[in-house]
Amino acid sequence: MTNMKPPLVLFIFISVSLEALPVSVTGDNVGAYHPTDDIAVDCGSNTSFLVGRRNWIGDAADSSDYSPNEKTHSSTAAEASSSSPSIPSAAPYLTARLSRSEFAYTFHVNAGPKFVRLHFFPSDYPNFRRVDSFFSVEAAGYTLLRNFSASHFADYSPSVGFFSKEFCLSVGEDQILKITLTPTPGNSDAYAFVNGIEVVSMPERLYYNAVIDSNEGIKFAGQTTPYTLDTTKALEAVKRLNVGGQYVSPAYDTGMYRTWEADDEYVTSSYTGVFSFNTTTQLNYGEQVPNYTAPDSVYTTARTMGTHKNINLSYKLTWSVVVDTNFTYLVRLHFCQCQMEINEPLDRVFKIFMNSQLVDADVISWSGKGVPVYRDFTVAPYDGGKKRTNLSVALGALLHGSTFYSDAILNGLEIFKISDPDRNLAGLNSDPTPPASKASSSLSKAAKIAVVAGGTSGFTVLSLLAFFLYRRRNRAKDSTSSDGTSRWGPVSHATTKSTKSRGSSLPSDLSRHFSLAEIRAATNNFDKVFIIGVGGFGNVYKGYVDGGATPVAIKRLNQGSQQGLHEFRTEIEMLSQLRHLHLVSLIGFCKDAGEMILVYDYMARGTLKDHLYNTDNPPLPWKQRLEICIGAAWGLHYLHSGAKHTIIHRDVKTTNILLNEKWVAKVSDFGLSKVGPTRESKTHVSTAVKGTFGYLDPEYYRRQRLTDKSDVYSFGVVLFEVLCARPAVSRMAPMEQISLAEWAQSCCKSGSVEEMVDPHLKGAIALECLNKFCEIAMSCLQDEGAKRPSMNDVVWGLNFALQLQVSTELEVKDHAGVSVHDSDDSDHDAASIRGSGSDEAINTSDSDSGGWKSSRETVTSTRAGSNDVCDESMTSYDSEKLP
Ligand SMILES: *[C@@H]1O[C@H](CO)[C@@H](O)[C@H](O)[C@H]1NC(C)=O
Ligand SMILES: *[C@@H]1O[C@H](CO)[C@@H](O)[C@H](O)[C@H]1NC(C)=O
Ligand SMILES: *[C@@H]1O[C@H](CO)[C@@H](O)[C@H](O)[C@H]1NC(C)=O
Ligand SMILES: *[C@@H]1O[C@H](CO)[C@@H](O)[C@H](O)[C@H]1NC(C)=O
Ligand SMILES: *[C@@H]1O[C@H](CO)[C@@H](O)[C@H](O)[C@H]1NC(C)=O
Ligand SMILES: *[C@@H]1O[C@H](CO)[C@@H](O)[C@H](O)[C@H]1NC(C)=O
Ligand SMILES: *[C@@H]1O[C@H](CO)[C@@H](O)[C@H](O)[C@H]1NC(C)=O
Ligand SMILES: *[C@@H]1O[C@H](CO)[C@@H](O)[C@H](O)[C@H]1NC(C)=O
């Protein structure tokens, strides 16, 4: 095995080994249900493809059982003209069946409820333009989609180019299931297409006629009249979330190939709660909630509220999903009470608010310990004349006295749209359902809506932004003003004790302890082919845990690494307390047999740097770059002022900004090099200047005073790197251009900014947006730290720049009738498979240090008391008080 990893080979290896991983975790219920009808059609393909254990049957082979019937025999089987790096497998996405006239598929299936999934990959196909798909889909007499534009949907949803729509409907005795696709009439370019169709049976009482116990059927939230979901209704799955857990792929469902998403992006409360894990828990499925209801991984992960009463009582843990109004929704909440300290009824009673209606919950008394249970509710969200609104589910704690623990729990959440009396599931038009998400994306969405509503008036946008940011800032302040205990409670003991001996003092310990055996299984005994990054500290591997359900990045510290046990503990302690959408999360650690291993969320798209000037990757469109910058700025803002103490990153650069599969930016590597006293010990940081050349704050360099403004400086360099798509230091460039920071400053001062802009972005950046962006980046590079903006100001400014871009594009669109479209992702290999921490020492280090390793070595700590020197961290406090 060589050190060079041909990315494609790596990719294939990983997919293969994912399938080969044993699925033998305790109580594992993967495949617990065997569907009687299990059909997967790869539309437009003349062969069959085995993906995982499923056979996707081509509909274009002469002998195919699933060839469509057509009114005019004019449908076309074709291959997509482009691919997308994120497509999980060729089948069913890379071929499609398309037609400008009606066509239909028929399925001879058993009677009973079925899942019908339609898979789409909107792309240009020979003779069919991506933007022209407008069509309706009917099945078994229900309208599933009407005048639906797949490209529009993909562009405005968080999907990554391809997506599927899942429906549930019941097929009667002797009924043939017919699925008809019809292009929207009156538009000669309109065509209908589909890439894949699945028909899979489901248990009779999974969603239909599900009864929990005799006196509780599905109820309108807060009302006592039961509602029957009988088989005359069809459902569309709107969202299916593994709360507090990870994405569960169809292969790891209970046999019905459902997809369970991670819930991070749908948590909209100011606090996102904490995760609780206990892999050793043996789940006991009862008769009411059989073992196929949801994967074990849904019931063994959850979110709870926090460890502090004042925090638990101060907020409601909330999930929001945007839905069409004028429909009724079925909301299923999954629970499983596995935590050690919760044993008796009344131990943990909480309230569930569903669009402001109220239900009391006491999971233990519903089902008992370790017994999965769910509750169904129906909600009819109404929001004036609006087409869409947020459907929200909120959990609230009760005061001590009404319950023993003021806390709440949720393990899983499913939301379905119920067909209306006209047997229709389609919204009013093809408008997409934008995702409800936090921080930057919901902000930009809110602002986009305001731009539309307020026409070209920028004022609406601004006041909306101001309000939003004001709110966020105050929330952040609230969290710092709690009393002396940590927000998320003690975690440090965990590093010295094994899982089994962790006492009851650590009930909601955030860091999961992995055994070395688990880590070895996850990485095939540290097989080199799993390496996704190499640094001074050791290797980073990609691995899968939880029986293959969860991809993770595993950082194995060199045995001989300078990093001592103390730093290892510090990182775990620090990271465990930091949970933010824009920070890479630490999942757990392993400290067996002298190993020091950290396990993080896997970031599918690697580093920001990879997407700026790595020619393996297609250039990122401008708006996406802006959104990534905004996300990273949020992450740093949280480090500086959202956590208990100011945390200075000290090594902000494009290799430390990682991207997940949905392009959400996450700041990484803020664990080992950070400043800020911990609760038990004061940390003293050597004053030797460390960091990465090219990003280094000159003031810090001169005065050796480290403040949060040093991160702001580095972030300014990142902004210019994003704008210009070139490294912070470029040795081969002409003298005056070697340092990006210097060159950028001189260009901005001489008004020749356009010279340095990434040629791929020529003409794509609105002038006002460019000016604003440069103004922010320049202010970050101010020589004097005190003159630089705070990260909060940077977030604010970048959002404003984004709005300037968006409103200019809307104006252009209004005036010219042209839609502003980001081009398709072009074909691309799997080079983006990198893990968190895939940080290579940049080979332009300054002489005394530079690179990853040495910057970590500078963290030293003493256990002495108050006499400790901690001037740098004090500086950072002082600076926070500056106006
Ligand atoms: C699921 O439950 C059924 C019936 O109780 C049982 O026969 C089956 O073995 C279980 N399957 C799994 C994977 O646990
Ligand atoms: C199947 O389709 C491919 C291209 O899509 C074509 O090259 C091949 O000849 C076809 N095979 C059969 C048996 O029709
Ligand atoms: C279909 O949707 C498009 C875009 O939303 C709209 O312009 C068109 O009028 C719609 N057609 C029908 C028949 O509703
Ligand atoms: C996990 O659950 C088992 C069984 O319920 C319990 O014995 C064990 O202490 C739990 N471990 C943790 C860390 O909560
Ligand atoms: C919802 O339904 C009501 C009554 O049918 C109708 O007046 C209203 O326009 C509908 N709202 C939307 C957004 O379609
Ligand atoms: C949903 O909520 C988010 C934030 O909570 C907000 O930004 C968005 O505008 C809401 N969407 C709708 C359609 O009300
Ligand atoms: C708040 O929630 C945590 C998290 O489970 C729980 O351990 C704690 O006891 C709760 N606080 C109070 C005061 O009940
Ligand atoms: C750094 O540069 C040296 C010599 O220029 C080279 O030998 C080494 O492989 C480079 N390291 C990296 C990580 O690129």
| Model pLDDT for residues 583-623, shown as the tens digit of each residue | 888 888 888 877 888 888 889 888 999 899 887 888 999 99
Whether 18 has a pLDDT exceeding 50, the answer reads no
Q: Is there a cis peptide before residue 295, judged by omega within 30 degrees of 0?
A: no
Helical (H) or strand (E) element with 417: strand 412-418
Whether 760 has a pLDDT exceeding 60, the answer reads yes
User: What pLDDT was estimated at residue 72?
Assistant: 57
Give the range among 183-187, 211-215, 659-663 with minimum mean pLDDT: 211-215
What are the backbone angles phi and psi of residue 861, rounded to the nearest 5°? -145, 145
Q: Is 126 in the pocket of ligand 2 (CB under 6 A)?
A: no
What is the DSSP pairing of strand 163-171 with strand 235-242? antiparallel
Q: For a pocket test of ligand 7, which of 274, 277, 303, 304 has the largest count of ligand atoms closer than 8 A to its C-beta?
A: 304
User: What pLDDT was estimated at residue 277?
Assistant: 62
Q: How far apart are CA 343 and CA 164, in angstroms?
A: 41
At residue 832, the 3 state secondary structure works out as helix
Q: Which among 651, 669, 697, 758 is annotated as catalytic?
A: 651
Any idea what DSSP says for residue 148?
E
Residue 424 bridge partners (DSSP): 143
The 10 Å CB-count burial string (b at 16+, else e) for 758-791 is beebeebbbebbbebbbebbbbbbbeebeebbbb
Whether 866 has a pLDDT exceeding 70, the answer reads no
pLDDT in tens, 94-113: 899 999 999 999 999 999 99
Q: How far apart are CA 350 and CA 330, in angstroms?
A: 21
Q: How confident is the model at residue 57 (pLDDT cuts 50, 70, 90)?
A: very high
User: What pLDDT was estimated at residue 140?
Assistant: 93
Whether 756 has a pLDDT exceeding 60, the answer reads yes
Give the range among 295-309, 490-504, 651-665 with minimum mean pLDDT: 490-504
In three-state form (DSSP H/G/I as H, E/B as E, the rest C), the secondary structure along 456-523 is CCHHHHHHHHHHHHHHHHHHHHHHHCCCCCCCCCCCHHHHCCCHHHCCCCCCCCCCEECCHHHHHHHC
Q: How confident is the model at residue 181 (pLDDT cuts 50, 70, 90)?
A: very high
User: What pLDDT was estimated at residue 712?
Assistant: 95
Q: Which atom of ligand 2 is nearest to the CA of 79?
A: 5
Closest CA to 154 of 98, 106, 195: 195
Range 404-416 average pLDDT: 89
User: What pLDDT was estimated at residue 320?
Assistant: 93
Q: Is 280 in the pocket of ligand 4 (CB under 6 A)?
A: yes
Classify residue 344 by burial, with Cβ atoms within 10 Å: 0-12, 13-18, 19+.
Answer: exposed
What is the sign of the dihedral through the CA atoms of 170, 174, 179 and 184? Answer: negative
Closest CA to 329 of 411, 263, 419: 419
Tokens 């921080």 found at: 439
User: What pLDDT was estimated at residue 821?
Assistant: 38
Q: How far apart are CA 585 and CA 577, in angstroms?
A: 10
What is the sign of the dihedral through the CA atoms of 9, 12, 13 and 14? Answer: positive
The boundaries of every CATH 2.60.120.430 domain in the chain are 2-19+206-418, 38-201+430-464
Q: Which fold has domain 606-870?
A: Transferase(Phosphotransferase); domain 1 (1.10.510)
> Whose Cα sits closest to atom 1 in ligand 6?
390
Give the range among 79-83, 279-283, 419-423, 789-793 with minimum mean pLDDT: 279-283
C-alpha dihedral over 206, 207, 208, 211, to 10 degrees? Answer: 70
Whether 872 has a pLDDT exceeding 80, the answer reads no
Q: What does the block give as tokens for 310?
A: 């004042």
The boundaries of every CATH 1.10.510.10 domain in the chain are 606-870
Q: How confident is the model at residue 60 (pLDDT cuts 50, 70, 90)?
A: confident
Alpha helices in 750-863 (DSSP H): 767-780, 791-816, 851-857
Q: Which fold has domain 2-19+206-418?
A: Jelly Rolls (2.60.120)
Q: Which residue has the higher pLDDT, 762 or 157?
A: 762
CA of 326 to the centre of ligand 5 (A): 6
Q: How confident is the model at residue 128 (pLDDT cuts 50, 70, 90)?
A: very high
Give the range among 33-37, 260-264, 503-507, 656-660 with minimum mean pLDDT: 503-507
Alpha helices in 331-457 (DSSP H): 363-367, 439-453
10 Å Cβ neighbour count for 414? 22
Percent of all residues in the chain with a pLDDT value above 90, rounded to a whole number? 30
Closest ligand to residue 504's CA: 4
Range 59-79 average pLDDT: 79
Q: Is 281 in the pocket of ligand 4 (CB under 6 A)?
A: yes
Give the range among 77-81, 348-352, 489-493 with minimum mean pLDDT: 489-493
User: What pLDDT was estimated at residue 644?
Assistant: 66
Q: How confident is the model at residue 283 (pLDDT cuts 50, 70, 90)?
A: confident
User: What pLDDT was estimated at residue 839?
Assistant: 29
Closest ligand to residue 293's CA: 1
Closest CA to 220 of 437, 337, 382, 334: 382
Q: How far apart are CA 221 and CA 328, in angstroms?
A: 11
> Whose Cα sits closest to atom 1 in ligand 8?
843
Q: How confident is the model at residue 467 (pLDDT cuts 50, 70, 90)?
A: very low
Q: How far apart are CA 298 and CA 348, in angstroms?
A: 20
Q: Is 464 in the pocket of ligand 6 (CB under 6 A)?
A: no
User: What pLDDT was estimated at residue 824?
Assistant: 35
Q: Which atom of ligand 1 is nearest to the CA of 254?
A: 13
Q: What does the block give as tokens for 133?
A: 């798909």
Give the range among 71-80, 259-268, 369-378 with minimum mean pLDDT: 71-80
Range 11-25 average pLDDT: 28
Q: How far apart are CA 556 and CA 702, in angstroms?
A: 35
Give the range among 22-36, 42-56, 361-375 with minimum mean pLDDT: 22-36
Q: Is 312 in the pocket of ligand 7 (CB under 6 A)?
A: yes
Q: How far apart are CA 335 and CA 780, in angstroms?
A: 47
| Rg of the chain on CA atoms, in Å | 27
The boundaries of every CATH 3.30.200.20 domain in the chain are 506-601
10 Å Cβ neighbour count for 869? 13
Range 709-723 average pLDDT: 95
Whether 218 has a pLDDT exceeding 70, the answer reads no
Whether 516 has a pLDDT exceeding 50, the answer reads yes
User: What pLDDT was estimated at residue 100?
Assistant: 93
- C-beta pairs of 516-523 under 8 Å, 24+ apart in sequence: 516/590, 516/592, 516/593, 516/595, 516/597, 518/545, 518/590, 519/543, 519/554, 519/556, 519/590, 519/595, 519/597, 519/599, 521/21, 521/22, 522/552, 522/554, 523/554
Q: Which atom of ligand 8 is nearest to the CA of 840?
A: 13
Range 809-829 average pLDDT: 47
Range 295-302 average pLDDT: 90
Alpha helices in 111-256 (DSSP H): 150-156
Amino acid letter, 723 = L
Spatial neighbors of 342 by CB under 8 A, at least 6 apart, are 348, 363, 364, 369, 405
Q: Is 15 in the pocket of ligand 4 (CB under 6 A)?
A: no
pLDDT in tens, 620-647: 999 999 999 999 998 898 888 866 677 8
Q: How confident is the model at residue 661 (pLDDT cuts 50, 70, 90)?
A: confident
Percent of all residues in the chain with a pLDDT value above 70, rounded to a whole number? 69
Q: Which residue has the higher pLDDT, 471 or 676?
A: 676
User: What pLDDT was estimated at residue 614?
Assistant: 81
Q: How confident is the model at residue 217 (pLDDT cuts 50, 70, 90)?
A: low
User: What pLDDT was estimated at residue 382?
Assistant: 74
Q: How confident is the model at residue 47 (pLDDT cuts 50, 70, 90)?
A: confident
Amino acid letter, 470 = Y
> Whose Cα sits closest to atom 5 in ligand 5?
326
User: What pLDDT was estimated at residue 591?
Assistant: 83
Q: How confident is the model at residue 816 (pLDDT cuts 50, 70, 90)?
A: low
Q: For a pocket test of ligand 5, which of 322, 325, 326 has the largest count of ligand atoms closer than 8 A to its C-beta?
A: 326
DSSP string spanning 73-112?
Answer: S--EEEE-SS--TT-S-HHHHSEEEEESS-EEEEE---SE
Q: Is 29 in the pocket of ligand 1 (CB under 6 A)?
A: yes
Residue 395 bridge partners (DSSP): 317, 352
Mean pLDDT of all residues in the chain? 73
**Ligand 5 residue neighbourhood (C-beta within 6 Å):** 325-326, 385, 387, 428
Q: For a pocket test of ligand 8, which of 840, 843, 852 has the largest count of ligand atoms closer than 8 A to its C-beta?
A: 843
Q: Is 457 in the pocket of ligand 2 (CB under 6 A)?
A: no
The 10 Å CB-count burial string (b at 16+, else e) for 289-310 is bbbbbbbbbbbbbbbbbbbbee
In this prediction the pTM is 0.54
CA atoms within a 13 Å half-sphere pointing along the CA-CB vector of 72:
9
Q: Which residue has the higher pLDDT, 821 or 809?
A: 809
Four-way CATH pick for 38-201+430-464: 1.10.3720.10, 2.60.120.430, 2.160.10.10, 3.40.50.11540: 2.60.120.430
Classify residue 244 by burial, with Cβ atoms within 10 Å: 0-12, 13-18, 19+.
Answer: buried
pLDDT in tens, 666-684: 998 765 455 443 322 333 3
CA of 61 to the centre of ligand 2 (A): 9
pLDDT in tens, 345-372: 777 778 888 765 667 777 777 777 888 9
Q: Are residues 76 and 97 in contact, defined by beta-carbon separation less than 8 angstroms?
A: yes
Range 283-310 average pLDDT: 84
| Distance (Å) of CA 799 to CA 189, 536, 773, 828 | 37, 36, 10, 30
Whether 281 has a pLDDT exceeding 70, the answer reads no
Most confident of 244-253, 274-283, 619-628, 682-691: 619-628
189 is an active site residue: no
Q: Which fold has domain 506-601?
A: Phosphorylase Kinase; domain 1 (3.30.200)
Whether 214 has a pLDDT exceeding 50, the answer reads no
